[in-house]
Amino acid sequence: MPGNSLRILVLENDSFQRVVAVNMFRSLGCHEVFEASDGSEALAVLQQVGVVDIAVCDLQMEGMDGLAFLRRAAKSGQVKSIIVSSALSADLRRAAHQIIGLLGLDLLGDVGKPLYAEALEPLLEKFQGTGARVNTPDAEVQLACEDEVRQALVMQQLQAWYQPKFDLQTGEVCGVEVLCRWLHPSKGILPPAVFLPVLERCGLMDELLFAQLDQGLSLQEQARVQGFPLNMAFNLQTAQLANGQLTYTLKGVLARYATQGSRLTFELTETGLLQAPAASLENLVRLRMMGCRLSIDDFGAGYSSLQRLCQLPFNEIKLDGEFVRNLEHEPRCEAAISSALALGKSLGMSVVVEGIETEAQFLRLQAMGCLEGQGYWFARPMSGPDLLSWLQQREMDVAC
């Protein structure tokens, strides 16, 4: 049974469906299942029983509705994950998904109505496999202090990590995205959320970029010698484009490693690009003149002006992973991905789909004609030495 140790709260307006849901969870091995008919009752239950692992939440109810409950639950930190169970239309449920994310809650899944054990069981297994965190103030990311971050940069504790990109049709590795992790001497591996905001506030993003370029290009050469030519994709903030020395410094780095700009991609989020000043546009053009590829990252997450985007010198669209996460349950997401593929083709831009986490997503995207993608289904971010070992092991597995 997948749910032996889980604590479940069923928030359902209809009494019959509520009884069915409670019995269903118990049949799946959940011994502690609580119930409520509206948001107010659910909050009272939480006050009495404490934190629950999963709240199965209807959205439209008499009294306090599901949205109000979610807002209150996010503040109290008494719910670890949410399963949406609602008869509302798909577009309204998808909007609710966005609200859940903005509230900082973990959306485990959307099972619609009526409930089926076949849909719930894998979600219980998913929760136990990922160990969803409790959304409490203590669990919020604590930013490191400025002095410590500055020292970490000087001591080269901020290390480049790499997540492979794949050709979805052939399965071959076609490049890597360069990310960053803090190898803290006493706290272990720390995520970017701990230190990136500090670097931004202190104006140190350029120093981080060029440190990552040094690490990435060194690894790129090692991989090339071993027979693995990799394009390296570096994240670049829109504000960094205002640096008039950006491309000149980059040319010096490329010369030092005797490599070409065509082996690099720079990923920029679309936020801020639409109002980019002339100096920023000049740098974009210079990067393309150097042979570098330019990718619009998280495309679709902002409010794109297609006319403006068509005027910018990008040659790659990187589609936001939110579309893939809802691909199997939301027809509009499939339509959006298809539209992005068509847009990319008409503009002569390649399209990379990120956030691929399941085989079903991969197979659907492959059938839709997607050519490139990345996500945990293929490979998680890894250190440089681990990447080289992973590439070698993968080659041996393919040979066998």
Question: Nearest Cα to 319, choosing from 383, 381, 368, 260?
Answer: 368
User: What are the CB-based long-range contacts (under 8 Å, 24+) for 132-140?
Assistant: 132/53, 132/80, 132/81, 132/106, 132/108, 133/80, 133/106, 134/51, 134/77, 134/80, 135/74, 135/77, 135/79, 135/80, 135/104, 135/105, 135/106, 136/77, 137/77, 139/77
With a CB cutoff of 8 Å and minimum separation 6, the contacts of 350 are 315, 316, 317, 344, 371, 372
Paired residues of 34 in beta bridges: 9
CA distance 265 to 267: 6
CA distance 360 to 239: 38
Q: Residue type for 37, please?
A: S
Query: Dihedral angle at the C-alpha atoms of 130, 77, 148, 158, nearest 10 degrees?
Result: 20
* 354 tagged catalytic: yes
Residue 216 near residue 232 (C-beta atoms within 8 A): yes
Place of tokens 């010369």: 255
Residue 50 has, within 13 A of its CA and on its CB side, a CA count of 4
CA distance 273 to 280: 9
CA distance 118 to 120: 6
Which one from 267, 322, 354, 372 is the annotated catalytic residue? 354
Enumerate the active-site residues. 354
